[in-house]
C-alpha cells in the first residue's frame, strides 16, 4: 500500500514551482490532493489532469490566499470533494524585495496576508476537520533564520513569524494528535528564484553544496513529514538549503 493511501491533502499554491512538486509527490504517494492557485489556471488544470491520467486524484481550486474567505472555501471544498482532510500544506508565498526606503504599507499588508495570515486562516479552518494523525506543514524559508542581505526585511519577517505559529500550534494541537511542522527551503529553482541569474550565482556561492535545490527535494521532505514515519516530529522545523545557513 502506498504510504499516503486513503489520505486527503490540501496544498496552497500548487500550480507551479515547489507547490506543484509537492502536489505530484503527495499524489504519487497515494493521497487525494486538492490544490489552490491564483492566476495559473491552465497550469493548474494541466497538473490535475496529469495526476488523474496516472490514476491519482487531484482537484485544482482557484483561491487567492490574500483573501481569508477564499482560503476557508478552499479548505471546505477539499473536505467536501474528498470526504475529509488529513494533511494541510501551506505553500503559497510571495516575495517582496526592495530598498527599505521604497517599502509601503501595502507591501506589508500583501506579504503578511499571503505568507502569514493565510497560514493561520487555513489552520483555523482545517482543525475543524483534521483527526488524530493529521498534519499541518508550512513552507517557510531558510531566511526565517537568516536575513541574507539588504532588501529582505519583509520576507524575512513574514517567514520568521512562522516559527511562533508552528510552535504555538504544535502545543495547541498536540493533545489532538495533530503534528505541526515547518519546512525552510534555501535556493530552489522556480519562477520566484530562477537559478540562471547573477543573483542566483551569489546564492549558489553561499551554499555548502554549491548548487540550487529542486522542488522535488522539498517535496520528498514534505511527503516524509506527512507520513506516519514522522509521528514524533512536531513544533519544529527542518531547514533544507544545501547548507546555506550552515
Ligand atoms: P513560485 O512563485 O514559483 O510559485 C508560487 C505558487 O504559489 C504558484 O503556484 C502561485 O500560483 C501560488 N501563489 C502565489 N500567490 C498566491 C496567492 N495569493 N494565493 C494562492 N496561490 C498563490 O514560488 P516557489 O515555488 O518558489 O515558492 C513556494 C514557497 O516556497 C513560498 O512560500 C516561498 O516563499 C517558499 N520558498 C521558496 C524558495 C525558493 O528559492 N524558490 C526558498 C525558500 C522558500 P499562480 O501560479 O496562480 O500564480
Residue 186 included in any domain: yes
Q: Quote the percentage of the chain above a pLDDT of 90.
A: 100
DSSP characters for 3-55? TTTT-EEEESS-SSHHHHHHHHHHHHTT-EEEEEESS-HHHHHHHHHHHHHTT
Which pLDDT does position 181 carry in this prediction?
99
Residue 161 included in any domain: yes
Q: What are 105-121's pLDDT values in tens digits?
A: 999 999 999 999 999 99
Using CB distances shorter than 6 Å, the residues near ligand 1 are 12-19, 36-40, 64-66, 91-94, 114, 139, 141, 185, 187-188, 190-193
Q: State the catalytic residues.
A: 155
Is this model's pTM higher than 0.90 or not?
yes
Ligand 1, atom 39: closest residue by C-alpha: 188
For residues 118 and 70, give the distance between their C-alpha atoms in angstroms, rounded to a whole number: 10
CA of 13 to the centre of ligand 1 (A): 6
Q: 222: which residues sit within 8 A by CB, 6+ positions away?
A: 22, 25, 26, 89, 137, 139, 183
Q: What are 141-170's pLDDT values in tens digits?
A: 999 999 999 999 999 999 999 999 999 999
CA of 167 to the centre of ligand 1 (A): 23
Residue of 10, 17, 60 to test ligand 1 pocket, by largest number of atoms within 8 Å of CB: 17
Residue 244 included in any domain: no
ipTM of the complex: 0.99
Which pLDDT does position 32 carry in this prediction?
99
Residue 246 included in any domain: no
Residue 200 included in any domain: yes
Mean pLDDT of 183-198: 98
Q: What are 122-133's pLDDT values in tens digits?
A: 999 999 999 999
DSSP 3-state of 133 = coil
Which pLDDT does position 195 carry in this prediction?
98
CA of 12 to the centre of ligand 1 (A): 9
CATH code where residue 46 lies: 3.40.50.720
For residues 1 and 158, give the distance between their C-alpha atoms in angstroms, rounded to a whole number: 38
Residue 203 included in any domain: yes
With cut-offs at 50, 70 and 90, classify the pLDDT of residue 62: very high
Mean pLDDT of 83-95: 98
Residue 100 included in any domain: yes
CA of 191 to the centre of ligand 1 (A): 8
Using only the alpha carbons of the chain, give its radius of gyration.
17
Q: How many domains, the chain?
A: 1
Which pLDDT does position 121 carry in this prediction?
99
Structural domain including 72 reads 8-239
Ligand 1, atom 44: closest residue by C-alpha: 141
Instruction: Find the distance separating the first CA and the last CA of the chain, reported in whole Å.
Output: 37
Q: What are 192-233's pLDDT values in tens digits?
A: 999 999 999 999 999 999 999 999 999 999 999 999 999 999
The CA-atom distances, in angstroms, between 4 and each of 102, 174, 216 are 45, 21, 17
95 CA closest ligand 1 atom index: 34
Which pLDDT does position 231 carry in this prediction?
98
DSSP characters for 71-82? HHHHHHHHHHHH
Amino acid at each position: 500500500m502506498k504510504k499516503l493511501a486513503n489520505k486527503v491533502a490540501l496544498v496552497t499554491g500548487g500550480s507551479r514551482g515547489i507547490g506543484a512538486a509537492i502536489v505530484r509527490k503527495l499524489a504519487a504517494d497515494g493521497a487525494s490532493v486538492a490544490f489552490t492557485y491564483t492566476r495559473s489556471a491552465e497550469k493548474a488544470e494541466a497538473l490535475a489532469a496529469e495526476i488523474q491520467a496516472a490514476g491519482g486524484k487531484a482537484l485544482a481550486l482557484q483561491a487567492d490566499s490574500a483573501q481569508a474567505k477564499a482560503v476557508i472555501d478552499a479548505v471546505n471544498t477539499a473536505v467536501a470533494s474528498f470526504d475529509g482532510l488529513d494533511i494541510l500544506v501551506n505553500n503559497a508565498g510571495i516575495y517582496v524585495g526592495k530598498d527599505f526606503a521604497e517599502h509601503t504599507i501595502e507591501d506589508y499588508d500583501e506579504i503578511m496576508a499571503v505568507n502569514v495570515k493565510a497560514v493561520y486562516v487555513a489552520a483555523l479552518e482545517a482543525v475543524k476537520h483534521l483527526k488524530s494523525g493529521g498534519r499541518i506543514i508550512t513552507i517557510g524559508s531558510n531566511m526565517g533564520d537568516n536575513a541574507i542581505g539588504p532588501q529582505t526585511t519583509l520576507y524575512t519577517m513574514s517567514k520568521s513569524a512562522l516559527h511562533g505559529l508552528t510552535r504555538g500550534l504544535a502545543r495547541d494541537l498536540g493533545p489532538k494528535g495533530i503534528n505541526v511542522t515547518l519546512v525552510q527551503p534555501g535556493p530552489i529553482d522556480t519562477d520566484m528564484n530562477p537559478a540562471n541569474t547573477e543573483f542566483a550565482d551569489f546564492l549558489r556561492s553561499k551554499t555548502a553544496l554549491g548548487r540550487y535545490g529542486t522542488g522535488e527535494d522539498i517535496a520528498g521532505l514534505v511527503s516524509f513529514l506527512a507520513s506516519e514515519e514522522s509521528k514524533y516530529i512536531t513544533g519544529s522545523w527542518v531547514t533544507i538549503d544545501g547548507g546555506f545557513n550552515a
